[in-house]
Chain A
Amino acid sequence: MIEFLVKKLELFFITLFILTLILFWAHIRLGDVEINKIIPEYIHYAGNLVTFNFGNSTESGMPIIEEMKLFFPPTIELLLLSLAVSFCFGIFLGIVGGLNHHSVLDKCVYGFCLLGSSVPVYWSAQIFILLFCIYIKIFPTTGNISMLYDVPRYSGFMVIDVFIQGNNEIIIDMLKHLTLPLISLSLVPCATFARITRRATINLTQNYFIKAAYCRGESRFDIGIHHVLRNILPDIVQKLNIIICNLYSSCILVEVIFDWPGTGLWITQSINNSDGRIIETTTFVLGTSFLLLNITLDILSTLVINRTRLTHG
């Protein structure tokens, strides 16, 4: 176990090192660095990055850390919420579909999986906006809270801050703003989860112990929760990595479309303004976070698989 962890950490540091090299190369291209002083420059640059000493933005001259603190929480909030929603719904739909194989329900779930993974998120978001904001005027189009409300920053996460403030009107407004981005973002991962779960459930139901449980009289619901869920978890955890990476890509697009005050729009605007410092630091932060995520999920999946192996001999 320890050996495994050590290997993973080694991997993490090596990849981090390569990342800093790539970013330093980008830094050279964008700015002016003297050729003979490259090694000390590199150490200085990498040191700054690792200690989160990011410097100031080229365009506005204000420290990048401040802007990062403003822009990262809404993205994380959207990602976590959409992951939670798509996880719950996807697994639920997948189990339901898998257990009722060869029925109309299963075909509906399969159809949903298919459509959900073929719809481009930027198109569906625009259609949702048109449908729900312009024709049926329920939801607002942009932002995460109405411009008219002032919510003091306790944590940076709008969901938490709004509940801390406690004003009912503002809570409802925040929910209204949250719904459409959440739905557009969750569609694709939900379909992916449903597909994996359904496939795994169908494979699982071929097993005798499921048939035995069914014969014993356990309802499908009980079978779903007690037997199926635990056994399909390893399959899901394996794919979690890819799903989250794709989720973040879609998140950038959704944020641009809904003007969500998160990193997506910030990065796109910085690229339009050719703000080199921001692009470099954001790539570094994103790269590091995803590396950490990869490693955590790797460890988690090995743990889960090992435990499954142990229980099933």
Chain B
Amino acid sequence: MFDLNREAREIQSDKDIAWEIYKKSTTDMIGLYTLILCICVIFILPIWVNFDPLTQNVAERLLPPSWSDRGSLHHFLGTDEFGRDFLSRLLIGAQNTTKYAFLACFASLIIGTSFGLMSAMSRSRTRKGVLHHIFDILFSIPSILIAFITIGILGASLPHAALAIGISLLPRFIHESYGAAKKELEKEYVRAEISDGSSRLHLTFTTILPNILSTIISNMSQGISIAIIDIAAVGYLGFGAQPPTPELGNMLASGIDIIYVSTSKAIIPGVAMIVLIASIQLVGHGICRVLNTGVADAA
């Protein structure tokens, strides 16, 4: 709760307050730092350093990472069976996967939340039902199968895999935003606003949306993690990014194929994925905590 006395001395902006609350949890801070590190390394570093995931150099193939005997500092994480630098492949691969996962999740979030809100706010029963359940058919088919069918029709490539995963994420966003909006609509202050005469559109944007923001953000962070794992899963099965484009999934698959000869190539992409997803979840959790401070959770 805010200390009224302190307000006289220093005026803290909302952002500072939020930051204070966020800082309280060390794990969330670790998550934030890791995520910032990951984003810098994956997206910003390649702008300056010239990473080259595609050049083959058969003379230097299958080098182990630099910390083991035969490794060299020139190829920090070693090379794959074609002699391509593994660090570059890892970073560019993570970039590819994350870009498309974020795109898919974001698009799905926007469409899903709007459908959910529309169905929660609409007064006619049929429209409510239709908007709410229109994509339930996708709920009942597992995401991998949706990916198979989409790729069977459109052909195997990373954007198509992202499209498929985005489609499979839709129903979850609709349901969650519908549930959260419904909960909000039953609260006293919303009822007061309605009786004050605010239109449904106004109500949505000023009252409902900011209050379900925490649900949306927690869904978004979960959604991005699921999107990354699923896009990599489709890539692992060979239906996503086509080689030589690096992508976390198909790097895992080719790493497992040569596991007898070089174990690091299979383990490193997996560890990278765990670190990325764990940090995203921590940050999402932290933001939710900040947004939920002061909100009584008990019904």
Direct contact of A and B (CB under 8 A): yes
Chain A contacts with B in 234-277, Cβ cutoff 8 A: 238, 241-242, 245-246, 248-249, 252-253, 256, 267-268, 271
Q: By the criterion CB–CB under 8 Å, are B142 and A118 in contact?
A: no
Interchain nearest-CB distance for A223 vs B (Å): 17
Picked from A114, A120, A121, A290, the residue with its CB within 8 Å of the CB of B140 is A290
* A130 on the B face (CB < 8 A): yes
Bitwise, A121-146 to B at CB < 8 A (1) or not (0) is 11110110010000000000000000
Picked from A22, A110, A207, A291, the residue with its CB within 8 Å of the CB of B298 is A207
CB-CB under 8 A for A249 and B274, given A11-B133, A203-B297, A271-B148: no
Minimal Cβ-Cβ distance residue in B for A271? B148
Minimal Cβ-Cβ distance residue in A for B277? A118
Q: By the criterion CB–CB under 8 Å, are B278 and A118 in contact?
A: yes
Interchain nearest-CB distance for A242 vs B (Å): 6
CB-CB under 8 A for A267 and B256, given A19-B137, A22-B137: no
A-chain residues with CB within 8 Å of residue B136 when the two chains form the complex? 11, 15, 291, 294
Bitwise, B134-146 to A at CB < 8 A (1) or not (0) is 0011011111110
Q: By the criterion CB–CB under 8 Å, are A252 and B225 in contact?
A: no
Picked from A7, A246, A286, the residue with its CB within 8 Å of the CB of B145 is A286
Q: By the criterion CB–CB under 8 Å, are A287 and B140 in contact?
A: yes
A-chain residues with CB within 8 Å of residue B252 when the two chains form the complex? 120, 122-123
* B76 on the A face (CB < 8 A): no
Picked from A130, A206, A283, A288, the residue with its CB within 8 Å of the CB of B297 is A206
Q: By the criterion CB–CB under 8 Å, are B140 and A123 in contact?
A: no
Q: By the criterion CB–CB under 8 Å, are B142 and A119 in contact?
A: no
* B58 on the A face (CB < 8 A): no
* B233 on the A face (CB < 8 A): yes
B-chain residues with CB within 8 Å of residue A283 when the two chains form the complex? 141, 145, 149
Of the candidates B139, B232, B252, B269, the one having the most CB atoms from chain A within 10 angstroms of its own CB is B139
* B266 on the A face (CB < 8 A): yes
Minimal Cβ-Cβ distance residue in B for A14? B133
Bitwise, A276-297 to B at CB < 8 A (1) or not (0) is 0001000100111111011000
CB-CB under 8 A for A120 and B137, given A127-B270, A249-B144, A271-B148: no
Interchain nearest-CB distance for B4 vs A (Å): 24
Bitwise, B113-145 to A at CB < 8 A (1) or not (0) is 000000000000000010001001101111111
Q: By the criterion CB–CB under 8 Å, are A11 and B129 in contact?
A: yes
CB-CB under 8 A for A115 and B274, given A126-B256, A286-B142, A294-B136: yes
- Bound Cα distance from A130 to B256, whole angstroms: 10
Minimal Cβ-Cβ distance residue in A for B236? A122
Q: By the criterion CB–CB under 8 Å, are A117 and B142 in contact?
A: no
Q: By the criterion CB–CB under 8 Å, are A130 and B259 in contact?
A: yes
Of the candidates A207, A293, A294, the one having the most CB atoms from chain B within 10 angstroms of its own CB is A294
B-chain residues with CB within 8 Å of residue A287 when the two chains form the complex? 137, 140-141
A-chain residues with CB within 8 Å of residue B152 when the two chains form the complex? 271, 279
B-chain residues with CB within 8 Å of residue A203 when the two chains form the complex? 297-298
- Bound Cα distance from A287 to B139, whole angstroms: 9
Q: By the criterion CB–CB under 8 Å, are B137 and A18 in contact?
A: yes
Interchain nearest-CB distance for A277 vs B (Å): 14
A-chain residues with CB within 8 Å of residue B259 when the two chains form the complex? 130
B-chain residues with CB within 8 Å of residue A26 when the two chains form the complex? 149
Q: By the criterion CB–CB under 8 Å, are B140 and A294 in contact?
A: yes
A-chain residues with CB within 8 Å of residue B233 when the two chains form the complex? 120-122, 249, 253
* B267 on the A face (CB < 8 A): yes
* B111 on the A face (CB < 8 A): no
Q: By the criterion CB–CB under 8 Å, are A15 and B140 in contact?
A: yes
Interchain nearest-CB distance for A243 vs B (Å): 11
- Bound Cα distance from A280 to B278, whole angstroms: 37
Interchain nearest-CB distance for B294 vs A (Å): 13
Bitwise, A10-30 to B at CB < 8 A (1) or not (0) is 010011001100100010010
B-chain residues with CB within 8 Å of residue A267 when the two chains form the complex? 145, 148
B-chain residues with CB within 8 Å of residue A206 when the two chains form the complex? 297-298
CB-CB under 8 A for A114 and B282, given A126-B256, A268-B237: yes
- Bound Cα distance from A126 to B270, whole angstroms: 11
Q: By the criterion CB–CB under 8 Å, are A252 and B274 in contact?
A: no
Chain B contacts with A in 140-169, Cβ cutoff 8 A: 140-145, 148-149, 152-153
Picked from B229, B230, B267, B282, the residue with its CB within 8 Å of the CB of A127 is B267
Question: Can you list 10 A-B pairs with a CB-CB distance of less than 8 A?
Answer: A120-B229, A120-B252, A127-B267, A203-B297, A206-B297, A241-B139, A256-B237, A279-B149, A283-B149, A287-B137
Please give me the 10 A-B residue pairs with the lowest Cβ-Cβ distance, nearest first.
Answer: A290-B140, A118-B277, A123-B270, A249-B142, A118-B278, A248-B142, A291-B140, A203-B297, A287-B140, A249-B144
Residues in chain A within 8 A of chain B (CB atoms):
7, 11, 14-15, 18-19, 22, 26, 29, 107, 110, 114-115, 117-124, 126-127, 130, 203, 206-207, 238, 241-242, 245-246, 248-249, 252-253, 256, 267-268, 271, 279, 283, 286-291, 293-294
Residues in chain B within 8 A of chain A (CB atoms):
27, 129, 133, 136-137, 139-145, 148-149, 152-153, 172, 179, 225-226, 229-230, 232-233, 236-237, 252, 256, 259, 266-267, 269-270, 273-274, 276-278, 281-282, 297-298
Given contacts A286-B140, A286-B142, 19 further A-B contacts (CB under 8 A): A7-B129, A18-B137, A22-B137, A29-B153, A118-B276, A123-B252, A123-B270, A124-B270, A242-B172, A248-B142, A249-B142, A252-B145, A271-B148, A283-B141, A283-B149, A288-B140, A290-B141, A293-B140, A294-B140
